[in-house]
């Protein structure tokens, strides 16, 4: 459809975004209807063919919805394709192989709740305004943080029932539930490094899953006291090590590329080293980020709505962020814009108010778009400018070290870059070991 009529698929995607966000509701309805059909089939021999046909029709509908009618497909990255598909396949394993009504009920509740994670946008845009909460997607909202952490608490409870509920087989290699569960949650946490970047996963869901699993295998205690004791012992050890033996990366007191000829020479030398590698990065596929920037709309103020101003797409309002997020080929486009003086250094550091006040450099670093990252750095983009996330402020340098610290085929690029910046602009903050213990403790807990 998109090939025959360019832009048509993206226009359709914009129209049905709210429907696609209801993955959890759709999964629950489909699973419930299939569960009801299974109960009928267990009660009577007649009508089995009808139940079977209905079952596959429901699964077909659910597959179309969960795969967003094929519009989220991203060719060219086979690892990502595999992880996206395993993320979706778990629920279909459960729907296909369940035989007992009690197991079917737990399947319905657990997988529908896991898929409800895609409904946070509806909570933000539909339910919050109904109760007078005005929040915006892409900006920090303490109310939405609370909802996400509450969601993770319920997820852990659902996981406990999925393993230990009446009639449940538990974790083993010879039952379908273990395979469905393992496939689903592995891709849930590994995809996009969600286990690290999503605070409610990192703080509640993953520790909760580990506690439930340890208790399931080794304890089966009424209150899981041994599993909790082991977890809090490990947590205490981690906090103690981080407070007394850890370290925090110092930041330079300033950053201005024009003031440092040494840093300019360093970037020129690195550009020569990485140039061949950067040209080999994929440039000919339509990425998910392209769809995102072409379908996401900027929120308007009351004044803008009253004046009847047209709604802008992200791609229109944030062109440099779009270039930074959507492929290495954009490095050439960006270089030409800089040569023509179509953008300034201030534009390179512009904070995207629609998404965590992020700058173009943070998009390119986070998505490993090395070519654009190098162009931005060479033209004065500030890698120490912070973008706000749900719990902390992260710079492009922080993101780069989290991604391995390399740029192209230069594995230690960011460590050498950071050392030069500290040499040019010595940090003003107090070294980690000289800070009061309670200050270090609070910083460690906040970053957890």
Instruction: Give the mean pLDDT of 121-127.
Output: 77
193 and 270 in a single domain? The answer is: no
pLDDT at 353 over 80: yes
pLDDT at 149 over 90: yes
CA 406 to chain CA mean position, Å: 21
Check if the beta carbon of residue 262 is closer than 8 Å to that of residue 424: yes
Helix pair angle (142-164, 206-218), 10° resolution: 20
290 and 186 in a single domain? The answer is: no
156 and 216 in a single domain? The answer is: yes
Q: Token pair for residue 392?
A: 């902390």
> Is there a domain that residue 236 lies in?
no
- 3-class SS at 357? coil
pTM of the entire structure?
Answer: 0.70
120 and 206 in a single domain? The answer is: yes
213 and 298 in a single domain? The answer is: no
- 3-class SS at 388? strand
> Is there a domain that residue 226 lies in?
no
pLDDT digits (tens, 9 = 90+) for 152-207: 999 999 999 998 888 888 888 888 888 888 888 888 888 777 888 788 999 999 99
Residue 285, pLDDT score: 43
- For the chain, how many helices (H) and strands (E)? 26, 2
184 and 333 in a single domain? The answer is: no
199 and 275 in a single domain? The answer is: no
143 and 55 in a single domain? The answer is: yes
> Is there a domain that residue 44 lies in?
yes
Separation CA 7–CA 294 (nearest Å): 9
326 and 421 in a single domain? The answer is: yes
Domain tally, the chain: 2
pLDDT digits (tens, 9 = 90+) for 303-333: 676 777 787 888 888 889 888 887 667 788 8
Give the domain extent around 50: 8-220
pLDDT at 379 over 80: yes
pLDDT at 301 over 70: no
Residue 127, pLDDT score: 81
Separation CA 228–CA 225 (nearest Å): 5
277 and 332 in a single domain? The answer is: yes
> Is there a domain that residue 211 lies in?
yes
User: What backbone phi and psi angles, to 5 degrees, belong to 170?
Assistant: 80, -175
Of 226-240, 302-316, 424-438, least confident by mean pLDDT is 302-316
Instruction: Give the mean pLDDT of 42-56.
Output: 58
| Domain end marker among 195, 220, 245 | 220
> Is there a domain that residue 442 lies in?
no
> Is there a domain that residue 231 lies in?
no
> Is there a domain that residue 125 lies in?
yes
160 and 292 in a single domain? The answer is: no
What's the CATH code of the domain at 314?
1.25.40.20
Comparing CA positions, the residue from 154, 173, 158 lying closest to residue 105 is 158
Q: Highest mean pLDDT range out of 14-23, 66-75, 187-196, 300-309?
A: 187-196
pLDDT at 111 over 90: no
pLDDT digits (tens, 9 = 90+) for 250-275: 889 899 998 889 999 999 888 777 65
pLDDT at 412 over 90: no
Other CB atoms within 10 A of residue 3 CB? 7
117 and 213 in a single domain? The answer is: yes
> Is there a domain that residue 439 lies in?
no
Residue 302, pLDDT score: 65
User: What backbone phi and psi angles, to 5 degrees, belong to 327?
Assistant: 125, 150
């Amino acid at each position: 459809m998109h090939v025959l009529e360019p832009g048509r698929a993206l226009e359709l995607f914009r129209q049905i975004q709210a429907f696609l966000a209801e993955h959890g509701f759709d999964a629950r309805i489909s699973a419930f209807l299939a569960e009801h059909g299974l109960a009928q089939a267990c009660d009577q021999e007649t009508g089995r063919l009808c139940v079977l046909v209905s079952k596959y029709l429901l699964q077909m509908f659910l597959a179309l919805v969960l795969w967003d009618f094929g519009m989220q497909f991203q060719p060219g990255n086979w690892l990502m394709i595999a992880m996206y598909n395993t993320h979706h396949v778990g629920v279909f394993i459960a729907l296909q192989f369940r035989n007992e009504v009690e197991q079917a009920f737990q399947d319905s509740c657990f997988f529908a709740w896991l898929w409800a994670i895609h409904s946070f946008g509806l909570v933000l845009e539909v339910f919050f305004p109904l109760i007078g909460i005005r929040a915006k997607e892409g900006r920090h909202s303490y109310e939405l943080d609370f909802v996400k952490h509450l969601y993770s608490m319920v997820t852990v409870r659902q996981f406990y029932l999925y393993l230990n509920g009446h009639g449940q087989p538990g974790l083993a290699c010879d039952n379908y539930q273990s395979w469905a569960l393992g496939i689903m949650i592995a891709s849930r946490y590994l995809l996009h490094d969600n286990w690290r970047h999503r605070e409610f996963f990192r703080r509640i869901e993953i520790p909760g899953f580990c506690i439930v699993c340890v208790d399931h295998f080794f304890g089966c205690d009424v209150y899981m006291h041994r599993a909790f004791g082991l977890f809090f012992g490990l947590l205490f050890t981690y906090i103690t090590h981080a407070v007394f033996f850890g370290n925090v990366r110092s930041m330079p007191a300033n950053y201005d590329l024009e003031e440092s000829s040494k840093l300019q020479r360093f970037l020129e030398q690195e550009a020569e080293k990485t140039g061949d590698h950067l040209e080999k990065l994929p440039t000919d596929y339509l990425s998910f980020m392209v769809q995102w920037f072409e379908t996401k709309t900027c929120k308007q103020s009351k004044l803008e709505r009253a004046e009847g101003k047209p709604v802008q797409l992200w791609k229109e309002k944030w062109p440099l962020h779009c270039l930074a997020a959507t492929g290495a080929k954009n490095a050439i486009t960006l270089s030409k814009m800089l040569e023509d003086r179509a953008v300034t250094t201030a534009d390179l550091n512009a904070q995207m108010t629609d998404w965590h006040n992020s700058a173009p450099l943070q998009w390119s670093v986070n998505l490993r778009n090395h070519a654009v990252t190098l162009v931005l750095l060479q033209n004065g983009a500030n890698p120490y400018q912070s973008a706000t996330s749900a719990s902390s402020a992260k710079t492009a340098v922080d993101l780069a070290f989290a991604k391995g610290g390399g740029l192209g085929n230069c594995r230690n690029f960011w460590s050498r870059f950071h050392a030069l910046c500290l040499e040019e602009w010595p940090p003003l903050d107090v070294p980690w070991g000289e800070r009061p213990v309670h200050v270090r403790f609070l910083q460690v807990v906040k970053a957890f």
